[in-house]
Chains A and B, each alone.
Chain A
Amino acid sequence: MTESALVLRGLVKRFDRVTAVAGVDLDVPTGSFYGLLGPNGAGKTTTLSMAVGLLRPDAGKAWVLGHDVWSDPVVAKGLLGALPDSVRMFDRLTGGELLAYVGLLRGMETGVIETRTAELLDVLGLADAGRTLVVDYSAGMKKKIGLACALLHAPRLLVLDEPFEAVDPVSAALIRDILNRYVAGGGTVIFSSHVMEVVERLCSHVAILAGGEIRTVGTLEEVRQGRPLEDVFVSVVGGRVATGAELSWL
């Protein structure tokens, strides 16, 4: 059995009376392309925030390549790159300045920062933005610069929250290509999404989260069992997909 890149055990998070995450266990194998699926409010963002050390769990633990995120954060965070959703960046810097800042915080060498920054900005089509501040970027550009920040220090594990949201088709294809190459090179990716098509096309493994619990987990084939992923998702999550006699006035 290969070592897991990310292990979650019994993660629980309650906000006031609402239980957002009710005991999540997950094993993300090294070299896998892992999709975390779930309807809105399923607890995807909460789970991933606890996994990367942004949100303290009420119970449970998280390990990155064997290092506890909460008791051994320095090593774990060095191996990890993350793109959190619904979190601002230091967006009053230009794209280049932001990447340089992240690189310096990560303790990288100036020369390495310069090379990688130039390359990332170029590949992601952000070099033309020049002196524009990130706050003035479009939503898709913000996603891309966020991804660049996560990639800059060449982490072994990427945790991405909704990386394809608000991204135009061309940029989405570019991000898919970058992530595919990253996994082919031995990296591990886990990302959340509610777009079946993307998950079906990219992922080797899938977990479906609903109501704060993992409902189904396994390789893509195990989960699908020959059916379209959307059908599986709907049957696992529940909820109606067709109308009956209502809305007849439409």
Chain B
Amino acid sequence: MAVAEATATGQRVKTVHFVRLKLRLMRNGLRGQPWRIALFISGVVVGVGAAVGGFGLFTAAAVTGGRTGLVMTGFAGAGLTLSWLLMPLLFFGVDETIDPARFALLPVRRGVLLRGMLAAAGVGIPSLATAVALLGSVVGTAVRHGPVAGVALVGAVLALLTCVVGSRALTSAFASMLRSRRVRDLAAILLAVLASSIAPLQFAVSSLISHGDLDRAARIAGVLAWTPLGAPYVAAADAADGRWGTALVRLAIAAGSVGALLVWWFGTLESAMIGVAAGARSTNRSGPPVRAVVALFPALLRVLRPGRFSGLVAREWRYWWRDPRRRANLFSVTIAGAVLPAVLRVGPAAEHGGTPLPLAVAFSALMAALVLANQFGLDGTAYALHLLVGVPGRVELRARALGLVLLMVPIQVLVTVAVAVLTGAAAQLPAALGVVVAGVGLSAGASALASVLAPYPFPESTNPFAVSGGTGGLRGLLALAGSLSAAAVLAPLLLFAVLTDGPVAGVVVLLAGLVWGGAGLVIGTHVAGDILDRRGPEILAAVTPRR
């Protein structure tokens, strides 16, 4: 093989060897296999068709220019990148013609290997077709704006790199993750998540199309243009309109994301190589001694000073991710929190400006902390440790609530901002954020109370969706009652937020929301903490599964 020959003859290994290796492997794969040749030819035909179509689309978009051109470029570019990222994961799997693990024993320097792998990844029908299609934007820009085509060329190269490296990084990271038990737990959930998010997505897209709404499309394209998905494609349009600064920033976004993807991909490549060298026990390798306290804290929480409270928060974070039941809960709450506000905004009342934003986000905020309503049931008999150590009830409940709040509030804020921008409700944003913070805090407080008043056991099974029959459902009603009372407490603030408008009222709601949510959390955990101190052993008994 080319690389092995090169190393054997003492010749310096260069990137071109990897490309030759890839081409030779492709040719050998076709030899004497009629159906493979047929498949290859049909692949070429599809590729040529896609290349020509894409070339036409991007050329037309660049020549049209203006807002329509921006929408066309933004959507086409984001669609292209997304299909590069998702298609291999969902349908095809990735072309592993050149397996990095094969090079583990060859004396090839790391940098050369990585460059070679990158070049080899770029050789193939999809990359060529994409390159041709992207050339369209360069040609189109050159026709209309002349020298600005340089920007288009840089953008096209960055876009191609994003596609190739991104799909490589995603698939190889996913492949190496699938080897561990943790992710096998996850895979089932992920499929459920994908299935459940397709319907709302269809809904959103079809409503956009049926409204034939260029304004809204332009807004979405405007957002896409600031993400790595769209940035490299629309930079040339900005430059053509004379916004050179914007164009440069977009190119920088694209370049930065290519860099980040490269680092990520190279990281997974190296671990893939070590994985084979170390054999089957690779996931258990002891490696350099890790400091236990540091290891307990997730990277984002390392700013905290290690102690009882921060230790509890750190363990909660680890558990939201590592415990399959908790993870399933977290996913469903997150998805509901993302979908519900969007649907309420563009749903039935859309003709009249849609549901007011603060109301649209209130439901998901109130639901966010419901996952804590049986937090002791989630831990099961493991709670015995806290009893043995004698963790004070308030410390325990506040740490648990804070762990969830630190997870949920950023997600909810992000969703609220995105929905506000996309549905043209930016003016209502401060008030909506106030409602979100208040809702999450209040429901966390109510859930703390529910969790000490009506704990119930989950079966000790690995299936995250298993619930014990009998009383579990009934006690779940109490959690519902808890969230209803949280809703009742939130109602005055919500009413004020919906009835008023203007920036001053918005800021008032935001500040009041912070106070509201904070007070709900503090009071709820204060009362619940007292109960927990008195009823600890009873709660342990209540969450112990019957055998």
What is A's interface to B at a CB cutoff of 8 Å? 52-56, 73-74, 77-78, 80, 82, 84, 86-94, 96-97, 99-107, 110, 113-114, 117-118, 127-133, 136, 149
Q: Which residues from chain B contact A99 at a C-beta distance below 8 Å?
A: 292
Contact of A56 among B289, B308, B537 (CB under 8 A): B537
Please determine whether A92 and B322 come into contact, CB atoms closer than 8 angstroms.
yes
Chain A residues with CB under 8 Å of B109's CB are none
Question: Which residues of chain A are near B538, meaning CB under 8 Å?
Answer: 56
- Of B290, B537, B541, the residue contacting A53 (CB under 8 A) is B537
Q: A77-B390, A84-B388, A90-B315 are in contact. List 20 more A-B contacts (CB 8 A).
A: A54-B384, A56-B538, A78-B390, A89-B382, A90-B382, A92-B319, A93-B322, A94-B295, A96-B292, A97-B295, A97-B296, A99-B292, A100-B292, A100-B295, A104-B312, A105-B391, A110-B293, A113-B293, A133-B182, A133-B322
Interface check B287, CB cutoff 8 A: yes
Could you list 9 A-B pairs, sorted by A, with CB under 8 Å? A56-B537, A87-B384, A93-B315, A100-B292, A104-B293, A105-B389, A107-B308, A118-B289, A131-B287
Q: Which residues on B sit within 8 Å (CB–CB) of A92?
A: 318-319, 322-323
Q: Please report which residues of chain B, range 329-346, place their CB below 8 angstroms from some CB of chain A when the two chains form the complex.
A: none
Query: Which segment, of B57-65, B278-286, B518-526, faces chain A?
Result: B278-286
Residues on the A chain within 8 Å of B385, using CB: 89-90, 102, 105, 149
Chain A hits for B323, CB < 8 A: 92
How far, in angstroms, from A101 to B296 measured CA to CA in the complex? 7
B238 on the A face (CB < 8 A): no
Other-chain contact of B386, A88, A93, A105 (Cβ < 8 Å): A105
Tell whether, in the assembled complex, residue A100 and residue B311 are in contact, meaning their CB atoms are under 8 Å apart: yes
Output the least CB separation between B400 and chain A (Å): 13
A54 and B388 contacting across the interface, CB-CB below 8 Å: yes
Residues A93 and B389 in contact, CB atoms below 8 Å apart:
no
Contact A114 B292 (CB under 8 A): yes
- B311 close to A104 (CB less than 8 A): yes
- In the complex, how many angstroms separate the beta carbon of A9 from the nearest chain B beta carbon? 18
Per CB-CB distance, the 10 closest pairs between chain A and chain B, nearest first, are A104-B311, A96-B292, A100-B292, A92-B322, A77-B390, A130-B286, A97-B296, A117-B292, A100-B293, A87-B384
Contact of B318 among A78, A97, A149 (CB under 8 A): A97
Instruction: Tell me the smallest distance from the CB of B280 to a CB of chain A, in Å.
Output: 13
CB pair B292 A88 closer than 8 Å: no
Closest Cβ–Cβ distance, residue A71 to chain B (whole Å): 12
What residues of chain B lie closer than 8 Å to A88, measured between beta carbons? 380-382, 384, 460
On whether the beta carbons of A53 and B387 are closer than 8 Å, the reply is: yes
Residues of A within 8 A of B315 (CB): 90, 93, 101
Per the 8 Å Cβ criterion, residues 302-326 of B in contact with A are 306-308, 310-312, 314-315, 318-319, 322-323
Instruction: Known contacts A88-B380, A130-B285; decide if A52 and B388 are in contact (CB<8 Å).
Output: yes
Q: In whole angstroms, how far apart are the Cα atoms of A118 and B389 in the complex?
A: 21
B interface size (C-beta, 8 A): 43
Cα-based distance from A87 to B381 in the complex (angstroms): 5
Bound-state CA distance A74–B533 (Å) is: 12
Known contacts A56-B538, A105-B311; A87 and B292 CB within 8 A of each other? no
Specify which chain A residues have a CB less than 8 angstroms from the CB of B292 in the assembled complex. 96-97, 99-100, 113-114, 117-118
Q: Nearest Cβ distance between residue A49 and chain B, in whole angstroms?
A: 9
A96 touches B295 (CB 8 A): yes
Tell whether B211 is near chain A: CB-to-CB under 8 Å: no
* Residues A128 and B286 in contact in the complex (CB < 8 Å), given A100-B293, A105-B311: yes
* B319 surroundings in chain A (CB, below 8 A): 90, 92
Q: Output the residue of A78, A90, A102, A128 with the most chain B CB within 10 A.
A: A90
Q: Is B352 an interface residue (CB 8 A)?
A: no
Tell me the smallest distance from the CB of A120 to a CB of chain B, in Å: 10
Name the distance in Å between A114's Cβ and chain B's nearest Cβ: 6
B181 touches A (CB below 8 Å): yes
Contact across chains for A104 and B308 when beta carbons are under 8 A apart: yes
Q: Does B31 contact A (CB under 8 A)?
A: no
Q: How far is the CB of B177 from chain A (nearest CB, A)?
A: 14
Could you tell me the distance between the alpha carbons of A96 and B323 in the complex, rounded to whole angstroms? 18
Complex Cα distance, B283 from A94, in Å, reads 13
Q: Are B537 and A54 in contact (CB under 8 A)?
A: yes
**Contacts of B284 on A, CB cut-off 8 Å?**
128-132
Which chain B residues border A131 with CB–CB below 8 Å? Answer: 283-285, 287
Which residues in B have their C-beta under 8 angstroms from that of A53? 387-388, 390, 537
The answer to whether A102 touches B389, judged by C-beta atoms less than 8 angstroms apart, is yes
Decide: A77 near B381, CB < 8 A? Known: A97-B295, A113-B293, A114-B291: no
Min C-beta distance of A119 to chain B, whole Å: 11
Cβ B285 vs Cβ A104 within 8 A: no
- Which B residues between 528 and 547 are near A, CB-CB below 8 angstroms? 537-538, 540-541
Expressed in whole angstroms, the minimum distance between the Cβ of A190 and any Cβ of chain B is 15
**Distance of A110 Cα from B380 Cα, bound (Å):** 28
Residue of B whose beta carbon sits closest to that of A132: B284
Decide if A55 touches B541 in the complex (CB within 8 Å).
yes
Cα–Cα, bound, A131→B318 (Å): 14
Contact B388 A77 (CB under 8 A): yes
Residues of A within 8 A of B290 (CB): 96
In this complex, which of A78, A97, A102, A127 has the most chain B Cβ atoms within 10 angstroms of its Cβ? A97
What is the 8 Å Cβ interface bit string for chain B, positions 370-413, against chain A (1 contact, 0 not)? 00000000011110111111110000000000000000000000
How long is the Cα–Cα vector from A128 to B311 in the complex, in angstroms? 24
Q: How far is the CB of B281 from chain A (nearest CB, A)?
A: 9
Q: Which residue on B lies nearest to A69, using beta carbons?
A: B390
Q: Which residues of B contact A97 (CB under 8 A)?
A: 292, 295-296, 318
Complex: chain B residue closest to A15, CB-CB = B541
Question: Which chain A residues lie closer than 8 Å to B388 at the CB level?
Answer: 52-54, 77, 80, 82, 84
**Distance (whole angstroms) from the CB of B542 to the closest CB of chain A:** 12
Contact in complex: A93, B384 (CB < 8 Å): no
Residues of A within 8 A of B293 (CB): 100, 103-104, 110, 113-114
- Contact residues, B354-369 vs A (CB, 8 A): none
CA distance A69 to B238 in the complex (A): 73
Contact between chains at A54 and B540 (CB < 8 Å):
yes
Q: Which of B307, B318, B382, B384 contacts A104 (CB 8 A)?
A: B307
Q: Which residues of A contact B537 (CB under 8 A)?
A: 53-56
Complex Cα distance, B180 from A132, in Å, reads 10
Given contacts A100-B295, A104-B293, A130-B286, contact A90 B390 (CB under 8 A): no
Closest to A105 in B: B389
Q: Decide: A74 near B390, CB < 8 A? Known: A54-B537, A87-B382, A104-B308.
A: yes
Most buried by B among A102, A105, A107, A131: A105
Report chain A residues within 8 Å CB of B312.
Answer: 104-105
Query: Which A residues are in CB contact (< 8 Å) with B291?
Result: 114
Q: Which residues of A contact B289 (CB under 8 A)?
A: 118
Known contacts A52-B388, A97-B295: does B286 contact A105 (CB below 8 Å)?
no
Residues of B contacting A103 in the complex (Cβ-Cβ under 8 angstroms) = 293
